[in-house]
Amino acid sequence: MITEKTQLYPVLSDYIKNININSITNERKEILQPLVEYIQNKAEHNKQIRINFICTHNSRRSHLSQIWAQTAAAFFQINNVFCYSGGTEATALFPMVAKTLANSGFNVLTTMSGDNSVYAIKYAPNEHPVIGFSKKYDNEFNPESKFAAIMTCSQADGGCPFIAGAEKRIPITYDDPKEFDNTTIQEEKYQERSLQIATEMFYVFSQIKK
């Protein structure tokens, strides 16, 4: 069980209490370790920690990773953490992602509707929201330099061998819940992937020594 260190929305807080970081395999821990080390090094030198989660379309896994990482940083009170997301191309934040986050206890507001809707996603009443919309990884909304590029899908990792401005490139890939779209288990599979990402991001930030 994880002990809460910051005030979150009550439903989200209850959801997080059921996250079991001990369920992560040693193989996955090895994959996550470079991100742990990157964050730890920045924290020890009191530097800003910028993490850009990159996928092909910036529609599902990269957004889930960005939001859960930002939440985990706040939860464990790791300061100066700024999480971003982007794609090798822009499409839209998939609505089931927004629904999955809302079902987990986030406050999800649609601030602009359209082909590429913009969402404000809050994990706590008094914290800035994460702004969610699909964009390329080098969009001006994202940092230009001094960030870690986390490749959340193998297609983006293989198809984008160079990320300008990245200090560190770390592949942490996840299976795409998109394959279950328009099926009877779509919602279940999105929640399953979200929980996996949440568990791993909470593990990462639980390892950081302040």
- Count up the domains in the chain and report the number: 1
pLDDT in tens, 143-168: 999 999 999 987 755 566 679 999 99
Whole-number Cα distances in Å, 151 to 20, 65, 89, 125, 136: 24, 10, 14, 30, 13
3-state SS record for 59-95: CCHHHHHHHHHHHHHHHCCCCCEEEEEEECCCCCCCH
Q: Is residue 29 part of a domain?
A: yes
Domain containing 164 equals 10-206
DSSP assignment letter at 136:
B
Whole-number Cα distances in Å, 105 to 24, 93, 150, 185, 210: 23, 18, 25, 20, 27
Q: How confident is the model at residue 1, as a pLDDT?
A: 42
Beta pairing partners, 120: 109, 131
Q: How confident is the model at residue 3, as a pLDDT?
A: 52
Q: Is residue 81 part of a domain?
A: yes
Q: Is residue 40 part of a domain?
A: yes
Q: Is residue 179 part of a domain?
A: yes
pLDDT in tens, 172-204: 999 999 999 999 999 999 999 999 999 999 999
The residues of the chain scoring below 50 in pLDDT are: 1
Q: Is residue 3 part of a domain?
A: no
Helix and strand totals (H; E) in the chain: 6, 7
77: alpha, beta or left? (left if phi > 0; alpha if psi -120 to 50): left
Q: Is residue 106 part of a domain?
A: yes
Q: Is residue 4 part of a domain?
A: no
For residue 163, the domain's CATH number is 3.40.50.2300
Both structure tokens of 103? 């079902």
Q: Is residue 79 part of a domain?
A: yes
